[in-house]
A and B are shown apart, each in its own frame.
Chain A
Amino acid sequence: MQDPIAHSDSTVGRVEVKETTCYMCACRCGIRVHMRDGEVRYIDGNPNHPLNKGVICAKGSSGIMKQYSPGRLTKPLRRQAGAERGTSGFEAISWEEAMKTLEERLARLRAEDPKKFALFTGRDQMQALTGLFAKQYGTPNYAAHGGFCSVNMAAGLIYTIGGSFWEFGGPDLDRAKLFVMIGTAEDHHSNPLKIAISEFKRRGGRFISVNPIRTGYSAVADEWVPIKPGTDGALLMAISHEILKQGLFDRDFLIRYTNAAELVIDEPSRPDHGLFYRAEMHVEEGCFDPENKLWWDRNIDGPISTHTPGADPRLMGQYVLDLDGGIAVKPAFQLLKERLESCTPEWAAEITGIPAETIRRLAHEMGVTARDQKIELPIPWTDCWDNEHASVTGNPVAFHAMRGMAAHSNGFQTIRALGVLMTLLGTIDRPGGFRHKAPFPRPIPPCAKPPHGPEAVQPNTPLDGMPLGWPAKPEDLFVDDDGEPVRLDKAFSWEYPLAAHGLMQNVITNAWRGDPYPIDTLFLFMANMAWNSSMNTSEVRKMLVDKDADGQYKIPFIVVCDSFASETVAFADLVLPDTSYLERHDTLSMLDRPISEFDGPVDAVRIPVLPPKGETRPFQDVLIELAGRLKLPAFVDGEGKPKYRDYPDFIVNYETTPGSGIGFLAGWRGKDGDKVLKGEPNPKQWEMYAKNGCVFHHELPPSYQYMRNWNKGYLHWARAHGMIRYAEPITIHLYSEVLQKFRLAAQGKWPGRQPPERLRARVETYFDPLPFFYRPLEDQLVDIERYPLNALTQRPMAMYHSWDSQNAWLRQIHSHNYLFVNPLVGKKHGFADGDWIWVESHTSKVRCMCRFSEAVEPGTVWTWNAIGKANGAWGLGQRADESRKGFLLNHLIAEELPPCEAGDHLSNSDPVTGQAAWFDVRVRVYKAGPDEPKVTSPQFNAMARLPGQEKQRGRWQAYMAGVFGKK
């Protein structure tokens, strides 16, 4: 062999290095794609990228195998006349035929009733475009994956602190001393979080993980606090109880920056009970929280306008305002204190399984660290009340939480409880605590509102309002006169009033049942709804092929746009083959969910490094062409001619409104590319991004980097740059007046809209203005003696949902999955490590193999998410482990709750936000019979190979760039 020292890659073939952005997951790291003779040779992290700083993950490094996967779609497909839906009986058609079919159908529906067209998208990052398309089309039936993902996390914190974890903010581990991670396995910020945790640990920071399971990040935690699923609310309430009891809260922070000291009317008989007492003064209408509220000043022992210089308000006590014949009021903090009184560590210990001593200790660690290890940075800044501060200070306790909290039906209130705890410790947008990422913080709640009634949907007219938004009061709901939903997924109805991200998980079931109404065309983009992103998957697959009495499909027409032969593709009537992430332009836009850093806005693009495979076409181009064909106003000029050539052209030239200067990309705006966030279109914008590693990072001056909710300089800057509408302080809602308004409506005290009778009690209960703990809804409705265990899934770090099973390298790491159980569970039910067992929920059961583990709390069983696959999907052979030995937990999870007073078909979701309650499912386990086949159950008929899809690959694969594609 050649001496390796003398071997240089650069001599082996023609080398090119192209920069773009990874999309092996939604983290969106910068990558360098090294090519040899036109084939991908090596993908590594872009060292100059602010997000991943040169590192890459297991998925990112396996991009080659995604690119060359035999699961790729290459041709538009139409279900053959006569072929049953779901059997993959497709014929290849031309793009022109496909577009024509779509154009005709969608034009007809738009003219008849635009809501008969439903567009739902999964793990995409193009909501800015797809949402725009839906709005312009005029259908309210649009949402992305947020509803089944983590809307609780978004809403819970955005309705509390004006920003959130997920993609909107995060823990400042550079400066934190104590880091508490709750219910997180991997999260979107995959690489950055790993970088941060390791650096944090190296610096000697203390890392505590609260999770029923110890894997991944939790593995390297200094302390693992195993908790019973769905009970974090109790833990957090008890910690707050102890913090209050010991006086470990940041009083100063609470007073100035939160509504803790603001006086709440405390007279149950009054219609405004539970609302802040608001002084009569001129308030500008807007989506911010006007400051016409009162404090009780300790010096004058009387009410005073909030933030009056020199005032020192009381946080506790009860007072009577000398107005209107006396109005009893309490500071919001007093109400919180009363709420927390009974939430003792002993109470929580019962619920959570965590010893009271541990809870107390955790509270002390948090409180004492926050109090005694104050950070002070010599950064002067000015607050909204014109107080000059010589420094930025912080309390170095950082939290991070994700779906372990979000994916329960009590998630919203639990996350509120976390927001409250973080606030008590004074850690919001301060060094060492929680930090926002642009465009957050935003007003509480943000300004965008859904339409308010059925009249917003009109033929051949754009939707009047945003398909998704942030209701602030009952009037913001999207309901008809009877208070019933206008949207197919029933978002923003009284069933799920704050469903800010929609409820994609119920779309198929609702459309199938025709509840609230039947639709015609269901368009699914980048969502595997016939498999891992549906609950109750087996039944949902039946609904997709179910016919009504006259032999018509209950969901008449299904369009699927995917890059791979996913399970869902089999159920399409029309398949649009998308490109891979290496083959297309993409934007990760400030209008959607950018990849901002704590120090300022960041957005990014993808620029193709390879030509599209076969006849694939970027979905964005397809959508823009379709919009042009349908003459949707934003996409055509005055004469109805398409305005944009293609997606890259659209991205450069589209402005949110003509002349707004705001478009998809924030970087290099303005004619000369010297403007940031706002500025006229720059025809060279793509080139600028290309030159800069496909990423734009605007670092704010240090004085704008902290305390942004109340940072005058920042807020004005943000307004000037089009990120927010009002430069008003964003007061933290320790006490949520927004929730109280819905509660008042439920109590019949609200002058405006009120919920239908069946939902009154539900809304009244769950719209509590203060966080509280309640048992997840499934626990309340099923026999938990019979189903004693909680079943969870976790993200494996080396797999992205369902879409990596076609990846030859990644699937070797996880080719199938086991149900992990504590050995005690096996012992109790008489099975051994590795045995085949049944897992049964109140609706369904699956057979799988079990693996004993000491790293799981004994009341919990779990498995890796979405490893199990349907036979034949993803270009896999029929003996593939994924379908024979792998299983999907989703079959067990009901998409609807058992009937109850509030309705027969309520979604198995959070009653406030409609967040899918994946992690509520209760199960029992038992050993499979000795004669049962050693394959997982359920099994499905093998999915046939699709026209244009590669033939089954052979036994050997020896990838060598530059040689592989050539025969």
Chain B
Amino acid sequence: MTQLALVIDLNVCVGCHACVTSCKEWNTSGWAGPMVDENPYDGSPTGTFFNRVQTFEVGIFPNTETVHFPKSCLHCEEPPCVPVCPTGASHKRADNGIVLVDYDKCIGCKYCAWACPYGARELDEQQKVMKKCTLCIDRISDPTLSDRDRQPACVLACPTNARLYGDVHDPDSEVSVAIRERGGYQLMPEWGTKPANHYLPRRKTQMHISPDELTRVDNPLRKEDLTTYTGEETLDDLAW
């Protein structure tokens, strides 16, 4: 069975929010749109986004890490948001594992949002139906798009390529390899939701220089190690 998902590489995510607005841009005019904004030009502007980039600080100065953390629906393999939905609007597709909401069925009871530990669902405050990341299903399955373009908008946008997309059930896919080889992990594993989206941890490249590496035989200083003499008096001029 196919389980499409994103793998987010925290090692390179610089927190640029490209994935945030490209997602909004694609989806507001797409199958899952519009994505409504409230007070778009006034106090406390707020609106529906399927993807948000958050920032965390880890550690105490000067040993601080700043972590940018993008989060959208994780398309859980055991999605707790689905069984609780009374209308069947929330569903997980059998063909590709994407968790979706059918807005025509949704009654806006928000129960699914309560049942998502990740805060990945957002109610559209004007349309009053629940919305969430669709994994850009209307892009990735649109046969009129080129292969390259049949990827989620956020993935195409991401300047650091921190968002990998593919089938996590296919052991040879780019995402599976990345998860396997780079220590990909799931969020809140304690709940058994088995998020399909994974995160790749930070990696550090260190450098070690041993003291004997510092000077080499061809050190250019050797060419200059000459004490200069500019013609002043020497013993040769005085002693005999």
Contacts and interface: CB of A to CB of B under 8 A. Distances in A.
Contacts of A855: 57, 61, 64, 66
Interface in B115-151: 126-127, 134, 137-139, 141-144, 148
B228 A44 contact: no
B14 A194 contact: yes
A827 to B, nearest CB: 13
User: Which one of B22, B100, B213 has the highest number of Cβ atoms from chain A below 10 Å of its Cβ?
Assistant: B22
B39 interface: yes
B209 to A, nearest CB: 5
A9 B66 contact: no
Contacts of B134: 4
Interface stretch (A217-225, A400-408, A642-650, A691-699): A217-225
B103 to A, nearest CB: 6
B234 interface: no
A315 B224 contact: yes
B157 A45 contact: yes
B31 interface: yes
Contacts of A57: 16-18, 157, 159
Q: Which has the most chain A C-beta neighbours within 10 Å: B45, B95, B105?
A: B45
A798 B21 contact: yes
B62 A4 contact: no
A956 B66 contact: no
A599 to B, nearest CB: 20
B205 A205 contact: yes
Contact of A247 (B13, B39, B46, B219): B219
Interface string A311-337: 000111111100000001000000000
A824 B62 CA distance: 12
Interface in A359-400: 361, 364-365, 368-369, 371-372
A822 B61 CA distance: 8
B187 interface: no
B213 A58 contact: no
Interface string B27-55: 01111111111111111111101000001
Interface centre among B18, B59, B103, B139 (most CB of A within 10 A): B18
A62 B64 CA distance: 32
A194 B66 contact: no
B215 to A, nearest CB: 7
Contacts of A248: 214
Nearest to B205: A206
A472 B136 CA distance: 57
A8 B57 contact: no
B87 interface: no
Contacts of B159: 52, 55-57, 190-191, 194-195, 198
Interface stretch (A517-525, A566-574, A957-965): A957-965
Nearest to A950: B41
Contacts of B62: 224, 226, 857
A953 B16 contact: no
Contacts, number: 285
B85 interface: no
Interface stretch (A740-748, A874-882, A925-933): A874-882
A854 B64 contact: yes
Contacts of B35: 958-959
Interface stretch (A112-120, A152-160, A287-295, A808-816): A808-816
Contacts of B25: 42-43, 61-62, 64, 809
Contacts of A361: 209
B17 A813 contact: yes
Interface in A29-46: 36, 41-45
A6 to B, nearest CB: 8
A365 B207 CA distance: 7
B173 interface: no
B22 A812 contact: no
Interface string B54-84: 0101011110111110000000000000000
A249 B204 contact: no
Nearest to B25: A61
A798 B156 contact: no
B37 A58 contact: no
Given A55-B157, A857-B61, A956-B36, A61 B21 contact: yes
A246 B42 contact: no
Contacts of B162: 198
Contacts of B8: none
B232 to A, nearest CB: 11
A813 B40 CA distance: 12
A205 B204 CA distance: 9
A813 B46 CA distance: 9
A797 to B, nearest CB: 4
A79 B100 CA distance: 54
A824 B40 CA distance: 37
A201 interface: yes
Interface string A49-71: 00010111111111010000010
Contact of A318 (B36, B100, B148, B230): B230
A856 interface: yes
A204 interface: yes
A962 B29 contact: yes
Given A56-B18, A853-B57, A249 B220 contact: yes
B36 A58 contact: no
Given A61-B18, A197-B14, A55 B38 contact: no
15 contacts: A1-B31, A5-B137, A61-B22, A61-B25, A191-B159, A198-B160, A214-B65, A247-B222, A315-B224, A365-B209, A809-B21, A815-B45, A955-B42, A959-B29, A959-B37
User: When A and B form their complex, which 6 residue pairs have the shortest distance between CB atoms, in order from nearest?
Assistant: A877-B42, A879-B43, A198-B160, A251-B220, A194-B159, A247-B221
